[in-house]
Chain A
């Protein structure tokens, strides 16, 4: 396969000069988005100023009274059949079993395509469910179909990847973007040095979470580790082979200059660790990234990877289901400050209509064997 950036370069060269120059003048191409950033304070445990925000979610039109009654909910993740969403789905089933009055099912596209995801949600609206849980492939494109669900009295709760706020009632936020960014950059600076040159392997430049994290990482690095050097960001879809190839290309291309690789997806991180291992660069090139513990255990045990940043996706699905139940029961209303979520205890409302799962979790050699997902 021809590397994507080559294709793009060829394409850009062929494009009428005016367009390309205008586009390139607009900003550098780093996989970050345009939204404002809010970097955390540099010292450990530092928190950013959070201004209290009024509730900004949407509300269903004339929802039926479901308090205490059995509800049927469907979970439509970005795609099905990958470890991460299998884990959120398990959390949803765990919570459904624990609650006893929730019937939950996970269904979605086999590829992370927004067009397909919209059709799935549309079909479930027609078939008549009480609630929809979703993880959006595109925050804006998914909004019309979610608003349609709200207009039919269906409860809509997001998790993992948000939509525009007014298209759902609540969003369960696994970790705030600036929290993840801080954990990533701090880990890298600790392992590779405060002046390390690093590269990023991401999914695609349009994937909202990844773009947000990269933007926050950029802001936090500029604020707290200004000597760190950003080499480039490469796209690898969420494809194992492509991620490995992209990471190997980075290692060959930048040589000794490259001190660290960030993996932005649960696929890119183990693939990057594998590429570093195969290249015999363990200890010379640090790999820090978002990944599930099972995929990273071999590299953590061989000391090739020291920090894996993530939250617990099982808890994420579990919390989303508890939030859905609380909303259906009328126990979580706009303006509330917290919600009870089973064994997770009390979760706080942030940013108006988001429910924060907690601080990001760093898996290391000491704790990774305690987790199995």
Chain B
């Protein structure tokens, strides 16, 4: 570390050079800029609506942060969304389950799918990347096979409250997301479970020697990942009023982008829920703000890509100074 930058970081408070803080500042600057360009962007209506649209990705991004903090990855989340969605419709229509039971069943299917990932990863020692690539194909194939690629439609009105309704003007699913953000944030930052995740990600061998139950902890995070994907599936079905086997296709990339942009190290050992939330909001609002400002869809993707690289560069160069 050079003398100059040492002097610089010395004068700056520590919280200011955190990745999340820098990202939040970039986000606020971008929001003000886009808001100045377009009077439809910074309205309560639009922001709440964007909250509705990002909930499914957000729900999965929370346990994905846990998974990545332990040094793992879960690429099967999008496929689990598809499988859970199909099982919701299929069990309701073909098994004749009452809808509340079908909803629980879809959650269970998601949880079991995640549990299977965790079980094989911890027992057979298959790398998470390989296992979840395999189940990405397997779960999507199951969804297609079971549904015969047919959609289930015509759910009762009350079910749509979850995906299309509002409580006190706030989209129902956004309230669920906010609640779970708080729960996940506390769990990661304030509990022994959270500490164990960092320990495993930083040095798994050391964690084992410290008498942490590494396998059980991993099993829990992959199961949570599956459960959250199941929940996202239910919200998505309620929002779009139909089940399709291709639901959630490509979600894994959006989710991982949000988590990694939020400062969680892909090698494990560091990351926060707060960072993930900023990453999530940043991607969603940039897309929305650019679209409202008249940037076309194909150009938006390019701008988003550049913005992501830029924010990661700025954040990591400032972080470099700190270290």
Using CB atoms and an 8 Å cutoff, list the residues of chain A in contact with chain B: 2, 4, 7-12, 14-15, 19-20, 22-24, 26-27, 29, 31, 33-34, 80-81, 107-110, 113-115, 118-120, 122-124, 126-128, 138, 140-144, 204-206
Contacts and interface: CB of A to CB of B under 8 A. Distances in A.
A15 B297 contact: no
Given A23-B148, A108-B297, 17 more contacts: A2-B137, A7-B140, A8-B145, A11-B144, A15-B146, A20-B146, A31-B149, A81-B298, A107-B296, A110-B301, A115-B240, A126-B49, A127-B292, A140-B240, A141-B241, A142-B240, A204-B246
16 contacts: A8-B144, A15-B142, A26-B148, A31-B149, A80-B297, A107-B296, A110-B301, A123-B291, A126-B45, A127-B292, A138-B151, A140-B241, A141-B244, A143-B241, A205-B149, A206-B246
Contact of A110 (B138, B146, B298): B298
A26 B292 contact: no
B297 A109 contact: yes
A119 B53 contact: yes
A10 B141 contact: yes
B205 interface: no
Nearest to A208: B151
Nearest to B94: A22
B303 interface: no
Identify which of B146, B153, B294 gathers the most chain A CB atoms within 10 Å of its CB: B146
Nearest to B242: A140
A137 to B, nearest CB: 9
Contact of B245 (A27, A119, A122, A206): A206
B138 A14 contact: yes
B283 to A, nearest CB: 12
Contacts of A9: 145
B300 to A, nearest CB: 9
Nearest to A12: B145
Contact of B148 (A128, A140, A205): A205
Interface string B145-164: 11111110100000010001
B320 interface: no
B213 interface: no
A19 B150 contact: no
A205 to B, nearest CB: 3
Nearest to B244: A206
Interface residues of B, number: 44
Contacts of A204: 149, 246
B302 to A, nearest CB: 11
Contacts of A107: 296-297
A9 B40 CA distance: 49
Contact of B145 (A11, A34, A128): A11
B319 interface: no
A-B residue pairs, 4 tightest by C-beta: A11-B141, A205-B149, A141-B240, A140-B242
Interface in B214-249: 236, 239-242, 244-247, 249
A16 to B, nearest CB: 10
B292 A126 contact: yes
Contacts of A142: 240
Nearest to B52: A122
Interface in B82-117: 90, 94
A19 B148 CA distance: 11
Contacts of B242: 138, 140-141
Given A108-B297, A126-B46, A34 B138 contact: no
A269 to B, nearest CB: 21
Interface string B44-58: 011001000100000
Contacts of A27: 148
A126 B40 contact: yes
A124 B46 CA distance: 11
Contact of A144 (B45, B144, B240, B250): B240
A353 B28 CA distance: 47
Contact of B240 (A7, A110, A138): A138
A127 B40 contact: yes
B21 interface: no
B9 interface: no
Contacts of B291: 120, 123-124, 127
Contacts of A113: 246, 249-250
B288 interface: yes
Contacts of A122: 49, 53
B298 A23 contact: no
Nearest to B145: A12
B151 A128 contact: no
Nearest to A15: B142
A107 B38 CA distance: 18
